[in-house]
Structure 1
Amino acid sequence: MKMIAEYLERAHQFERMATHESDPKLKADLEGQAEAYYELARKRAQEMGLPSPKTKGQPG
């Protein structure tokens, strides 16, 4: 099973790509991929009984 850190790293990679993208559609797609990986990290943490990782767009 994937580790939470791996999901978070992948999300960060997609975010970095999105920040350098000028095409609005591709930028939105990359940001969507990042959010999907953040969601995987949150779900994995929940399955493991761990606190939800702090991710972009979440308070705190």
Structure 2
Amino acid sequence: MKMIAEYLEHAIQFERLAAEEQDAGVKKQFEKQAAAYRQLAAKRTKELGLDDPDKSSI
């Protein structure tokens, strides 16, 4: 579970960086990195038989 939370924390950090970035190329790279971390979290969640963290209600 800790790994999933860490993946999501990284995704959020990259999403914040992307939101603040002015350079379109850098912004796109931050967005790609955030998406990659979210995919890792979803994959790990599925492997553990848990609900998708992006689709579960908070």
Common topology (TM > 0.5): yes
Bigger helix share:
2
User: Which 4+ runs in 1 deviate beyond 2 A?
Assistant: none
**Could you say what secondary structure the match of 2:8 adopts?**
helix
Deviation at 1:6, TM superposition (A): 0.4
Query: Percent sequence identity over matched residues?
Result: 56
Deviation at 1:50, TM superposition (A): 0.4
Q: In angstroms, what is the RMSD of aligned CA positions?
A: 1.2
Q: Which runs of 5+ in 1 are unaligned?
A: 56-60
Q: Which runs of 5+ in 2 are unaligned?
A: none
